[in-house]
Amino acid sequence: MTDQTRPWRFATRAIHSGQEPDPSTGSIVPPIHQSSTFLMHDLDTSHGYVYSRLGNPTRQALEQCLPSLEEGRYGLAFASGLAAETTALHLLKQGDHVVSAADVYGGTYRLFAEVLSQWGLEFTFVDATDLQNVADAMRSNTRMVWIESPTNPMLQIIDIAGIARLAHAHGALLAVDNTFASPYFQKPLTLGADIVSHSTTKYLGGHSDVIGGALILSRQELYDRLKPLQSIIGAVPGPFDAWLVLRGIKTLAVRMRQHAENAHAVARYLVAHPKVSRVHYPGLPEHPQHDLAARQMTGFGGMVSFELKPDLELVQRFLRSLRIFSMAVSLGGVESLMAHPATMTHSSVPEETRRRFGITDGLIRCSVGLEDKDDLITDLEQALAGV
Ligand X SMILES: *Cc1c(COP(=O)(O)O)cnc(C)c1O
Cite the active site residues: 53, 105, 177, 202
Residue 107 touching ligand X (CB under 6 A) = yes
Residue 349 touching ligand X (CB under 6 A) = no
Cross-strand partners of 123: 98
Where does 53-196 have alpha helices with state H?
A: 57-70, 81-89, 106-110, 131-137, 160-169, 182-185
Instruction: Give residues 202-231 in contact with ligand X (rule: CB under 6 A).
Output: 202, 211, 213
Question: What distance in Å separates the CA atoms of residue 161 and residue 199, rounded to the nearest whole number?
Answer: 22
Residue 105 touching ligand X (CB under 6 A) = yes
Q: Least CB distance from residue 81 to ligand X, whole Å?
A: 2
Count of positions on this chain that bind ligand X (CB under 6 A): 16
How far does Cα 143 stand from its chain's mean position?
A: 22
How far does Cα 177 stand from its chain's mean position?
A: 5
Cβ closest to ligand X, residue 152 vs residue 258 = 152
Cβ closest to ligand X, residue 103 vs residue 194 = 103
Cβ closest to ligand X, residue 2 vs residue 183 = 183
Cβ closest to ligand X, residue 204 vs residue 384 = 204
Instruction: Give residues 304-343 in contact with ligand X (rule: CB under 6 A).
Output: none
Collapsed DSSP state (helix, strand, coil) of residue 341: coil
Report yes or no: 279 and 236 within 8 Å, Cβ to Cβ.
no
Collapsed DSSP state (helix, strand, coil) of residue 184: helix
Residue 82 touching ligand X (CB under 6 A) = yes
Residue 81 touching ligand X (CB under 6 A) = yes
Ramachandran category for residue 95: left, alpha or beta (phi over 0 → left; psi -120 to 50 → alpha): left
Where does 10-137 have alpha helices with state H?
A: 10-16, 57-70, 81-89, 106-110, 131-137
Task: Out of 58, 60, 179, 186, name the contact with ligand X by CB under 6 A.
Answer: 179
Q: Least CB distance from residue 56 to ligand X, whole Å?
A: 19
Question: What distance in Å separates the CA atoms of residue 11 and residue 249, rounded to the nearest whole number?
Answer: 9
Cβ closest to ligand X, residue 150 vs residue 362 = 150
Q: Least CB distance from residue 200 to ligand X, whole Å?
A: 7
Residues that bind ligand X (CB under 6 A): 80-82, 105, 107-108, 148, 152, 177, 179-180, 199, 201-202, 211, 213
